[in-house]
Amino acid sequence: MENIVFGLETELQKEGESNERIWEEPSLHFICKRSLDGIIKYVSPSVQSMLGYAPDELVGKLYTLFVHNEDYKRIAKIAMPKGEETCSLTYRIERKDGEYIWVNSQMSVTRAQNTYQHYELISIKTDDSAKVNVEHLILEYEKLNVIGQLAAGIAHEIKNPLTSLKGFIQLMKAGRELNHGYLAIMEEEIQRIDEVSRELMLIAKPHKSNFTIVNINELVDDAITLLYAEAAKKCVKIIRKSRGKDAMFLCDGNKIKQVLINLLMNAIDAMDLPGKVNIWISKTEEDLTIKVEDAGKGIAKEHLDKIGTPFFTTKENGNGLGLMVCHKVIEEHNGKMSVKSSPQGTIFTISLPIQ
């Protein structure tokens, strides 16, 4: 990428001295040069086939006017590249017809020849819509896969309260007076059914990215609620351990919850004996850390580098998409996910920057 950017700088300097085009770019790419305060200074002609704008319709305008509002909130605080580094961002840009398309932008900073100070940003933008749409389809598929695995446990979780409700109703019919003790228990059982069904619907419902302030502790508790029956079948107890009182965080709550569910299900599946799965939550001024720790048999060293690779799985009936989806969601939040494993268990660590 450094060589490409160096070549672009040279060509752009030539372009300023003549009317020659930089080169014949593919229609799914265009080059953009803008000032550090966001004013577009140059756009290659191929922008017209990709976005519908002629270059002179964009030059002199703020690039942020064309970025989707939700994506701008996400990328606004990402540090720009320094030195010889490049920065890769994926976000939506508005076409002239009003539609939004996903682009991947590879950016680098150019410097003034005299002072060597940061001068302007140059980027190569690629139409990434097809790739992003496929990733969204995989995400929805994995949701359905997770729901299918949870179905039996949730049916059991709902059946027990329904049995209790039926029994108490029969007892109250047989009695002459209203039993408030029975009513209190019945209310608790109804609330339990409501919690499980509500959480299941939130996961099943397709939705766009929605970054809001959420309570991470409550998010983890919701995931535990969904997996309670699954864990109980294997005599596994899920324990949340939080450090600090401030658990509020800006994220897409539903997607982070799906990540937690996938990791917890893997942790439960990894344990052949009764035991505990611990979820550690800690927050600093810079990032939020979530660790999911199981006491299973661990992952073989030769497989650790393949974790998150599509269709790689150590499960007999697995498809390898669950952890791939987890990695993708964490990347969307500009975070990182790592794994450590030994014969005594596995720890997945999620690190999310404070935005």
Torsion of CA 192, 195, 196, 197, to 10 degrees: 120
Residue 48 CB partners (closer than 8 Å, separation 6+): 54, 55
Mean pLDDT of the chain, nearest integer = 76
The three-state secondary structure class of 342 is: strand
HSE-CB at 190 with a 13 A cutoff on CA atoms is 10
Q: Flag whether pLDDT at 11 surpasses 60.
A: no
| Confidence class for position 300, pLDDT limits 50, 70, 90 | confident
Quick one: average pLDDT of 279-303?
Answer: 88
DSSP 38: S
Q: Does 153 share its domain with 222? A: yes
Contact assessment for residue 118 and residue 107, using Cβ atoms and an 8 Å cutoff: no
Q: Does 160 share its domain with 228? A: yes
Q: Flag whether pLDDT at 12 surpasses 50.
A: no
Q: Does 115 share its domain with 197? A: no
Q: Does 77 share its domain with 184? A: no
Q: Which of 70, 101, 127 is the last residue of a domain?
A: 127
Number of domains in the chain: 2
pLDDT given at position 19:
43
Q: Does 317 share its domain with 174? A: yes
Alpha-carbon distance of 182 to 167, in angstroms, equals: 10
Alpha-carbon distance of 335 to 347, in angstroms, equals: 17
Q: Does 15 share its domain with 160? A: no
What percentage of the chain has pLDDT greater than the value 70?
69
Q: Does 191 share its domain with 75? A: no
pLDDT given at position 3:
42
Cα-based angle 206, 215, 268 (whole degrees, multiple of 5): 70
Contact assessment for residue 15 and residue 22, using Cβ atoms and an 8 Å cutoff: yes
Q: Which of 76, 104, 127 is the last residue of a domain?
A: 127
The least confident of 31-45, 99-113, 114-128 is 114-128
Q: Does 164 share its domain with 110? A: no
Q: Does 213 share its domain with 347? A: yes
Q: Flag whether pLDDT at 251 surpasses 50.
A: yes
- Its domain, for residue 119, covers 2-127
Tokens for 265, please give them.
């299900």
Q: Does 62 share its domain with 141? A: no
Quick one: average pLDDT of 59-80?
Answer: 80
Q: Flag whether pLDDT at 48 surpasses 80.
A: yes
Cα 279 to chain centroid, rounded: 18
CATH, residue 55 = 3.30.450.20
Return the sign of the alpha-carbon dihedral for residues 320, 321, 323, 324. Answer: positive
Q: Which of 263, 210, 270, 208 is nearest to 236 (CA)?
A: 270
CATH, residue 162 = 3.30.565.10
pTM of the model: 0.48
Q: Does 256 share its domain with 344? A: yes
Q: Which of 127, 149, 184 is the last residue of a domain?
A: 127
Q: Does 151 share its domain with 101? A: no
- Maximum Cα–Cα distance across the chain: 98
Residue pLDDT, tens place only, 162-173: 777 777 777 777
